[in-house]
């Protein structure tokens, strides 16, 4: 039996592996499902088993999972292609007879009413229909999603979106990785759903204030109409379809859909979630 992490060379996957090892799991008991073994050479050097497979090639997943494995399915990053990709993974896991399938979904699960949630909801239905023991890790937003966009914020002196006065209960990516590791190594999580989010929901006015204090620059918050935000995102080089998804997420934030603070994340990781200021500071130093 192995603990298997799919998408293991991605940002979240690597953090999950680090957390597993930090919890005392031997490298030889971890398997990393990767598309490119060369990109995972550092994982192999640590003694982690590589299983080469591709979400887009179902036949390649035949040997990705073994009976009794505890599997973390990290959702694919290609919006619009995730349902067939996830279907292939779930089918392969069910065929192998894995002991547990944990899935990184989205905060709110079936109640999430914005477009980015649609493929996650379908995936949860696929997992339920498979009959496999499961855990739904319904991840809220990573704070790094926002701090990755600090360059234009600093250049223009403003955080710009169409989220109005909505709040976001974000947490650091490492917090979500720690929760996944806790579920993969713990007991009593089978057939449960966790609503994972930060301890504190913040507004974009507050976010702009933190960025201003940490950077020493004057930063404001500009709430703009959705049409204007779409225009700005497309002008920055984003495809129109993806820009529309981000605008729709901001509408969801304005409706309070990403402000939920259940406490599940802090309970799973056994500590408070990483404060907003800490992640902003790290991003500005990095």
Walk me through the domains of the chain, giving residue ranges and CATH numbers. 3-139 (3.40.50.720), 142-170+198-259+274-286 (3.90.25.10)
Q: pLDDT at residue 178 above 90? A: yes
Contact 257, 108 (CB under 8 A): yes
Average pLDDT over residues 13-29: 98
Q: pLDDT at residue 102 above 90? A: yes
Per-residue confidence at 6, pLDDT binned at 50, 70, 90?
very high
Q: pLDDT at residue 14 above 80? A: yes
Average pLDDT over residues 25-45: 97
Per-residue confidence at 103, pLDDT binned at 50, 70, 90?
very high
Summarised one tens digit per residue, pLDDT across range 183-226 is: 999 999 999 999 999 999 999 999 999 999 999 999 999 999 99
Other beta carbons within 10 angstroms of residue 122's beta carbon come to 14
Q: How many Cα atoms sit within 13 Å of 263 on the Cβ side?
A: 1
60 CB contacts (<8 Å, ≥6 apart)?
Answer: 52, 53, 54
What the block records as the tokens of 135 is: 């855990």
DSSP characters for 153-172? HHHHTEEEES-TT-EE--B-
| Average pLDDT score, the chain | 96
Per-residue confidence at 238, pLDDT binned at 50, 70, 90?
confident
Strand-pair partners of 102: 72, 135
Q: pLDDT at residue 80 above 90? A: no
Summarised one tens digit per residue, pLDDT across range 126-162 is: 999 999 999 999 999 999 999 999 999 999 999 999 9
Q: Which of 173, 179, 94, 87 is nearest to 134 (CA)?
A: 94
Angle between helices 276-285 and 204-215 (to 10 degrees): 40
31 CB contacts (<8 Å, ≥6 apart)?
Answer: 2, 3, 4, 5, 48, 49, 50, 51, 69
Average pLDDT over residues 58-62: 94
DSSP state of 124: H
Tell me if the pTM is above 0.85: yes
Give the strand pairing for 202-203 and 167-168.
antiparallel
pLDDT at 286: 76
Burial tier of 129 (Cβ tally within 10 Å: 0-12, 13-18, 19+):
exposed
């Amino acid at each position: 039996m192995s603990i298997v992490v799919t998408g293991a060379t991605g940002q979240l996957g690597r953090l999950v592996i680090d957390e597993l090892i930090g919890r005392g799991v031997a490298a030889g008991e971890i398997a990393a499902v990767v598309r490119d073994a060369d990109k995972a050479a550092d994982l192999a050097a640590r003694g982690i088993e590589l299983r080469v497979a591709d979400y887009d090639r179902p036949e390649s997943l035949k040997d990705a999972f073994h009976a009794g494995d505890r599997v973390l399915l990290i959702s694919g990053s290609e919006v619009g292609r995730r349902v067939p990709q996830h279907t292939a993974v779930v089918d392969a896991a069910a065929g192998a007879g894995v002991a547990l399938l944990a899935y990184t979904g989205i905060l709110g699960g079936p109640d999430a009413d914005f477009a980015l949630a649609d493929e996650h909801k379908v995936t949860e239905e696929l997992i339920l229909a498979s009959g496999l023991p499961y855990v739904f890790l319904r991840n809220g937003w990573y704070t790094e999603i926002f701090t990755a966009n600090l360059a234009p914020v600093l250049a223009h002196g403003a955080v710009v979106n169409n989220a109005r006065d909505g709040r976001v209960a974000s947490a650091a990516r490492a917090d979500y990785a720690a929760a996944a590791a806790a579920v993969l190594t713990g007991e009593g999580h089978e057939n449960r759903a966790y609503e994972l989010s930060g301890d504190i929901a913040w507004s974009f006015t507050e976010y702009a204030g933190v960025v201003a204090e940490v950077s020493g620059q004057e930063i404001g918050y500009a709430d703009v109409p959705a049409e204007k935000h779409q225009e700005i995102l497309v002008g920055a080089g984003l495809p129109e379809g993806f820009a529309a998804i981000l605008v729709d997420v901001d509408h969801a934030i304005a409706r309070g859909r990403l402000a939920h603070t259940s406490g599940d994340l802090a309970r799973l990781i056994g500590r408070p979630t990483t404060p907003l200021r800490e992640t902003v500071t790290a991003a500005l130093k990095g």
